[in-house]
Amino acid sequence: MKIIKRSGAEVPFDITKIIAAVTKANNTVPDDEKMTPIQIRRIAESVENICEKMDRALNVEEIQEQVETQIMAHGAYEVAKKYITYRYTRSLIRKSNTTDEQILTLIECNNEEVKQENSNKNPTVNSVQRDYMAGEVSKDITRRLLLPKDIVDAHEAGLIHFHDADYFAQHMHNCDLVNLEDMLQNGTVISGTMIEKPHSFSTACNIATQIIAQVASNQYGGQSISLTHLAPFVQVSREKLRREVAAELQELTGEVDPEKLEKLSEKRLREEIQRGVQTIQYQVVTLLTTNGQAPFVTVFMYLGEAKDEAERRDLAIIIEEVLRQRYRGVKNEKGVWVTPAFPKLVYVLEEDNIHEDAPYYYLTELAARCTARRMVPDYISEKIMLQLKKDKNGEGHCYTCMGCRSFLTPYVDENGKPKYYGRFNQGVVTLNLVDVALSSGGNIEKFWQIFDERLDLCYRALMCRHNRLRGTLSDAAPILWQYGALARLQKGETIDRLLYGGYSTISLGYAGLAECVRYMTGRSHTDPAATPFALQVMQYMNDACRRWKEKENIDFSLYGTPLESTTYKFAKCLQKRFGIIEGVTDRNYITNSYHVHVTEPIDAFTKLAFEAQFQALSPGGAISYVEVPNMQDNIPAVLEVMKFIYDHIMYAELNTKSDYCQECGYDGEILIQKDEDGKLVWECPNCGNRDQNKLNVARRTCGYIGTQFWNQGRTQEIKDRVLHL
C-alpha cells in the first residue's frame, strides 16, 4: 500500500509513523488523559485498514484526518487537541515556502501526482520539467496573490476546479481556431521574420507547421486548423508543376503532349501532397513546444468549406492523403507502426460523403478503416450541427471544435458575415455537480439553493479569468494578436475588444451529472423517470450563462468538461467529505460531463441517441463516444455507427484499442492489473511486461488520445469501461 506525500512523491505506507506521531501528542498531556501503547497501536491499525479499503493511495492530509477521527473515537480528546495543534503549527511552517519541495520532487521525477497529470507529457524530459516548475510557481502565486481566498478554498476542496492555474500568472488564453487562411494568403511574421504567401503546397504545409508551433507556445489549450485553408495551394502547385513538366517535355521531345503533360504533372502533384501532409504529421508529432509536449492541434476535414467544386476536389485529395498516412501511423523507437496522439483529426459527415452513391463516399470508407485502427478521425454531423449552431439571423453553421471539444458559439461580424477562425476561448472553471447533490443531503430545495451559491462562485472565478486577460497588450504574443492567427491588432494595442460581444467565449464547465442524478433520484439519468431532472440541471446552468452574458456582454457558454487528472481529484475530495456512497463516490473517478456512466450496459446507438439531447444543452463544448472492440475486420459496422452519428448527434467518436509491447512484440490490448500494493498497473498479457517505458498504449480519455499513461482514478475509469458494440 502506498501514500502520497505533500511533495507529490509516492512512498510505502508506514504504520510506525502514525504510532510515533500519536505517541508524541500523547506524551504532552497529563497522565490521566494519556492513552496506552495498545490503544495507540489500535488507532494506527484502524487507519491502516481504512486506507486499504479506499483502494487508492491516500495523501498525508487524508491520513492525518483519519488519525484525528480515530483518536477522538477512543475518547482521548486532549491527545486529539495536541495532535491537531501540532498539525496546524506544521502547516504554518509549510506555508512560508510552498513550492521548493514540489519543484525538487519534479526534478528528481518522483512526484507521482504531477507525473500522471497530463497523459501527453513525459515528466522525465527537461522541457516538461521546466514547464512544470514554472507551473508550480504560477500556481503558488495564483493561490496566494491572484485569486480570492474563497475561490482558492473551493478549488482545493473540489467544489469547483479552476483550470490551468499553472498558466494563470501569465496573460494567456485557453484554445482557439487559427485563421490559417489569413496567415497564408496575406503573409505573417514568425520570430521577427516576414513569411510571405507560399508559392507551393509543400511550402504552405511547412509554414503551417511553424504557425502551429508558435501558436502552441503562446497559449495553454488546443488549437484547430482547417485543411480547406491549404487547398488553394494545390492549384498553385499544379500550375507550377505543369509549367515545369511542359518545359521538360519541350526540351526532351520538342513538343508538349497534353495527355503526358496531364499525367506527369498530376503524378508529381500527388507526390508533393504526400510530402506536404507528411511534413504536417511528422512535424506535429516530433515538435516539442515550450510547454514540453507536442502541439495540441486538431485538423479539420470539411468538404463543405470549399469555395467551389475545383477546390473541393483538391481538398478531397488532401483529406485522402491525411487519412492514409494516419492509418499507417508513425514508427516508435523500435521501428513499429503505432498510434500517435496528435494531430487529432475531425471529419465532417455530409450529404456528399455519407451515402454509398455520394461522390466522396470513398473518403468516408477510408475514415472508417482509419478509425478502426487508429481511433481517429472523430465525426461531426453537418446535418445536426446546422440545426444546433444557428446565428442571430437564424442561419446554421458547421465548424470545428477548438482542440478536443470546446466549441465557439455562432457569431456574425460587423459585415453580417459568420466568423469562426481567429476566435478563441478565455478559459474554464468547472462545477462539481456531485458535490452540489451530496451537500444538499438529497433535499431538492436545498439542492437548488446550493446550486445557486456554487454557480455564483463559478461566475466570480470566471470573471477573474476574464479580468486577467483584460488589458493584455498585443505585444505579449505577436503571432496571435498582430500577425493573423487570431487578429491583426496594432503594436501596443490591447486585446480588450476581442473579449466582449461574443467574439470570444468563456466556459462554465460541469462534471458528474450521472452521479449527481443518481444521488438525487436514486436512478441512472438514462432512466426515463430521472432524465427530466438531468435535463433540468443542464438548463439551469444554461440559464445562468445567459444571465451572466446579459450582465457582462461576455459570451459565457456551458461546456462539458474533459476531466483528465481532475476526475481523480474530485473523487478523492468527495470521499473525504462524504465517505463512500454506493453508486456515487465508490469509485476513484467521477463521470465526465453528461456521459452515461462507463459501467452502465447500453448499446452504441441508444447511448448516442440519449446523449444527443445533452449535447444540444452544451453549446460551449461536448463530445460523445462509444467503446468498441477491435473493428478492423468489421468496417461495415463502423460505417453503420457513422451513419447513425450523421442522423442523430452532432459530435462523436469511437474508442478502440491500439497498443504494442516493445518487450515481446505483442500487438493487441495491453491490460490493467493490480500489483501487490493494490495499485493499478499496465501489463502485457503475452509476456507480463509492466515497464511503462517499454509499452506503447494509446487510449482516448477526454476527447483526445493520451499516450503517457494516467493517474489511478483515470486508470480505474478506463478499466471499468464496458463495450457498447
Orientation angle between helical segments 433-440 and 444-469, nearest 10 degrees? 140
Residue 272 known to be catalytic? no
| pLDDT given at position 663 | 93
Contact 659, 682 (CB under 8 A): no
| pLDDT given at position 668 | 84
* Banded model confidence at residue 92, pLDDT cuts 50, 70, 90: low
Residue 172 known to be catalytic? no
Which residue among 385, 402, 684, 702 is the active-site one?
A: 402
User: How far, in Å, CA of 560 to CA of 615, rounded?
Assistant: 8
Residue 406 known to be catalytic? yes
Q: What is the pLDDT of residues 242-286, one digit of tens each?
A: 999 999 999 999 899 999 999 999 999 999 999 999 999 888 877
Average pLDDT of the segment spanning 509-535:
98
Residue 564 known to be catalytic? yes
Comparing 466-470, 565-569, 661-665, the range with the smallest average pLDDT is 565-569
Q: What is the pLDDT of residues 665-720, one digit of tens each?
A: 998 899 999 988 888 999 999 999 999 889 999 888 777 787 778 888 888 998 99
Residue 594 known to be catalytic? no
Instruction: For Cα atoms 196, 199, 200, give the angle at the middle one, nearest 5 degrees.
Output: 130
Share of the chain above pLDDT 90, in %: 70
Residue 503 in this model has a pLDDT that exceeds 90: yes
* Banded model confidence at residue 659, pLDDT cuts 50, 70, 90: confident
Q: What is the pLDDT of residues 164-176, one digit of tens each?
A: 998 898 899 999 9
For the beta carbon of residue 673, count every other beta carbon within 10 angstroms.
Answer: 13
Scored b (16 or more CB within 10 A) or e, 350-386 reads bebbbeeeeebeebbbbbbbbbbbbbbbbbbbbbbbb
Residue 559 known to be catalytic? yes
Which residue among 237, 381, 425, 711 is the active-site one?
A: 425
Q: What is the pTM of this model?
A: 0.86
| pLDDT given at position 115 | 52
Which residue among 1, 35, 51, 175 is the active-site one?
A: 175
* Banded model confidence at residue 106, pLDDT cuts 50, 70, 90: low
Cis peptide leading into residue 258 (ω within 30°)? no
Which residue among 68, 382, 564, 717 is the active-site one?
A: 564
The per-residue DSSP string of 405-433 comes to TB-PPP-B-TTS-B--TT-BEEEEEEEEH
Residue 370 in this model has a pLDDT that exceeds 60: yes
User: How far, in Å, CA of 234 to CA of 284, rounded?
Assistant: 21
Cis peptide leading into residue 377 (ω within 30°)? yes
Which residue among 83, 347, 420, 559 is the active-site one?
A: 559
Phi, psi of 580 (to 5 degrees): -95, 120
Which residue among 301, 404, 631, 702 is the active-site one?
A: 404
* Banded model confidence at residue 363, pLDDT cuts 50, 70, 90: very high
Q: What is the pLDDT of residues 422-445, one digit of tens each?
A: 999 999 999 999 999 999 999 999
Contact 706, 692 (CB under 8 A): no
| pLDDT given at position 295 | 78
Structural domain spans, the chain: 1-96, 97-146
Residue 123 in this model has a pLDDT that exceeds 80: no
| pLDDT given at position 299 | 96
Amino acid at the residue 384: I
| pLDDT given at position 110 | 54
Residue 402 known to be catalytic? yes
358 Cβ contact list (under 8 Å, min separation 6): 351, 352, 364
Q: In the numeric block, which cell numbers belong to residue 694?
A: 517499454
Residue 505 in this model has a pLDDT that exceeds 70: yes
More confident residue, 473 or 339: 473
Please name the helix (run of DSSP H) or strand (run of DSSP E) that holds residue 380, with its range, or none: strand 378-381
Contact 600, 524 (CB under 8 A): yes
The per-residue DSSP string of 654-678 comes to EE----EETTT---SPPEEEE-TTS
Which residue among 7, 119, 174, 689 is the active-site one?
A: 174
Please name the helix (run of DSSP H) or strand (run of DSSP E) that holds residue 52, with its range, or none: helix 37-53
| pLDDT given at position 600 | 97
| pLDDT given at position 507 | 98
| pLDDT given at position 3 | 82
Residue 78 known to be catalytic? no
Residue 290 in this model has a pLDDT that exceeds 60: no
**Highest mean pLDDT (candidates 23-27, 294-298, 329-333):** 23-27
Residue 581 in this model has a pLDDT that exceeds 90: yes
Residue 703 known to be catalytic? yes
| pLDDT given at position 81 | 85
More confident residue, 109 or 721: 721
Q: What is the pLDDT of residues 208-250, one digit of tens each?
A: 999 999 999 899 989 999 999 999 999 999 999 999 999 999 9
Q: Calculate Rg over the CA atoms of the chain.
A: 27
Comparing 12-16, 384-388, 453-457, 611-615, the range with the smallest average pLDDT is 12-16
The strand pairing partners of 194, in sequence order, are 189
Which residue among 703, 704, 706, 711 is the active-site one?
A: 703
For the beta carbon of residue 708, count every other beta carbon within 10 angstroms.
Answer: 18
Residue 122 in this model has a pLDDT that exceeds 70: no
Which residue among 406, 474, 592, 655 is the active-site one?
A: 406
| pLDDT given at position 705 | 80
Contact 433, 518 (CB under 8 A): no
Residue whose C-alpha is closest to residue 341's, from 563, 119, 115: 119
Q: Kindly provide the residue ranges of all beta strands, DSSP E only, lying in 215-373, ordered along the sequence.
A: 223-226, 297-301, 330-331, 337-338, 344-349
Residue whose C-alpha is closest to residue 376's, from 398, 400, 347, 399: 347
User: How far, in Å, CA of 607 to CA of 599, rounded?
Assistant: 13
| pLDDT given at position 338 | 86
Comparing 327-331, 409-413, 674-678, the range with the smallest average pLDDT is 674-678
The per-residue DSSP string of 381-403 comes to EHHHHHHH-B-TTS-B-----BT
Contact 707, 349 (CB under 8 A): no
H helical segments located in 496-587: 513-521, 531-552, 566-578
